[in-house]
């Protein structure tokens, strides 16, 4: 372990010197995000193993995504890379009303500003607030990620109930429903590199003494696989500006209300549809 640390320290010193020798304007980092899905509790006995397998294949593309983080010392924008749909794969997602989509995550660490453009059922919202900061604990572990010496950091984050859980049928009655509405905690594990001395990272993760290259949060793993420092095309960060301005809390309340409306509408449709009680 000591030998590994010494090697990393040596590599870190060389590469940090090389980076500091050139003018740093910013960079573009590419990340792969993968989220696992709990198929064990999905559908219960009503869905066969074959149907579960087919469903897992259909949602795979939605759980594995590519993002780019365009960053400077103070600002960054984290955006999904659009990809072409596989022929015949359309229509697999759930759409209600005008649909739901999220824009890129904008962070300004110098001014403590968070912003994001979201489309909720055809209405545009500009979610603008202060940055959410985690209480990071710097650990002793280190490893190489590509050509960068990375160091471990951990934090505990409170997670609010997922509003889309309201759409899932309940079998355990009111007690189970109330349990799913309780806030929980999850361990966040990040790996950052001081070789790129910016307090930036993917999604909403930031606040470490170096660019965050890897994050594990719940069922999601985000891993950087490419970094271009001072790209020839330059750095362009568009600050989100469109939509009705709301805070995080206000937007979460709107989403919860809309989700509840859809759940009630969906439930009524099932009861009044074919085979229902009307």
- Look at the chain and report how many structural domains it folds into: 1
Q: Identify the pLDDT of residue 87.
A: 47
Query: The whole model's pTM is what?
Result: 0.76
CA atoms of 263 and 60, how far apart (whole Å): 25
Give residues with Cβ within 8 angstroms of 150, minimum separation 6.
142, 143, 144, 191, 192, 193, 213, 214
Compute the radius of gyration of the chain from its Cα atoms: 22
User: Is residue 91, in this structure, part of any structural domain at all?
Assistant: no
Q: Identify the pLDDT of residue 235.
A: 95
Q: Block means of pLDDT (10 residues each) for the chain, length 278 residues?
A: 50 49 86 81 61 67 90 97 59 46 96 96 95 97 98 92 53 51 86 97 98 96 97 95 96 90 70 52
User: Is residue 103, in this structure, part of any structural domain at all?
Assistant: yes
User: Is residue 242, in this structure, part of any structural domain at all?
Assistant: yes
Give residues with Cβ within 8 angstroms of 157, minimum separation 6.
134, 185, 186, 188, 217
Q: Which range of residues forms the domain containing residue 174?
A: 2-86+96-272
- Residue 163: closest CA among 266, 43, 59, 252: 252
User: Is residue 277, in this structure, part of any structural domain at all?
Assistant: no
User: Is residue 104, in this structure, part of any structural domain at all?
Assistant: yes
Q: Identify the pLDDT of residue 82.
A: 85
How many angstroms separate the Cα of 33 from the Cα of each of 20, 42, 68, 187? 30, 22, 11, 17
Q: Using the structure block, give the residue that is written with the tokens 């640390």.
A: 5
Give Dmax over CA atoms of the chain in angstroms. 74
Q: Identify the pLDDT of residue 265.
A: 76
Q: Is residue 36 within 8 Å of residue 216, measured between CB atoms?
A: no
User: Is residue 25, in this structure, part of any structural domain at all?
Assistant: yes
User: Is residue 138, in this structure, part of any structural domain at all?
Assistant: yes
User: Is residue 128, in this structure, part of any structural domain at all?
Assistant: yes
């Amino acid at each position: 372990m000591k030998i590994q640390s010494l090697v990393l320290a040596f590599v870190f010193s060389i590469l940090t010197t090389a980076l500091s020798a050139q003018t740093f304007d910013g960079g573009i980092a590419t990340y792969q995000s993968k989220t696992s899905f709990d198929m064990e509790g999905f559908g219960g006995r009503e869905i066969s193993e074959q149907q579960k397998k087919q469903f897992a294949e259909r949602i795979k593309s939605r759980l594995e995504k590519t993002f780019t983080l365009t960053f400077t010392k103070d600002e960054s924008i984290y955006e999904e890379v659009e990809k072409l749909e596989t022929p015949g794969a359309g229509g697999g997602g759930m759409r209600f009303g005008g649909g739901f989509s999220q824009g890129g995550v904008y962070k300004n660490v110098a001014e403590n500003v968070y912003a994001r453009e979201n489309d909720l059922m055809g209405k545009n919202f500009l979610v603008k607030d202060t940055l959410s900061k985690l209480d990071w604990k710097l650990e002793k572990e280190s490893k190489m990620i590509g050509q960068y010496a990375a160091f471990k950091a951990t934090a505990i984050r409170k997670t609010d109930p997922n509003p889309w859980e309201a759409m899932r049928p309940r079998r355990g009655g009111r007690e189970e429903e109330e349990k799913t509405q309780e806030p929980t905690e999850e361990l966040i594990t990040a790996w950052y590199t001081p070789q790129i001395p910016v307090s930036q990272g993917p999604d909403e993760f930031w606040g470490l003494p170096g660019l965050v290259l890897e994050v594990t949060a719940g069922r999601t793993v985000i891993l950087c696989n490419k970094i271009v420092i001072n790209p020839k095309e330059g750095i362009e960060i568009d600050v989100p500006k469109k939509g009705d301005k709301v805070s995080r809390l206000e937007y979460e309340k709107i989403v919860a209300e809309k989700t509840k409306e859809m759940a009630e509408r969906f439930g009524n449709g099932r009861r009044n549809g074919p085979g229902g009680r009307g």
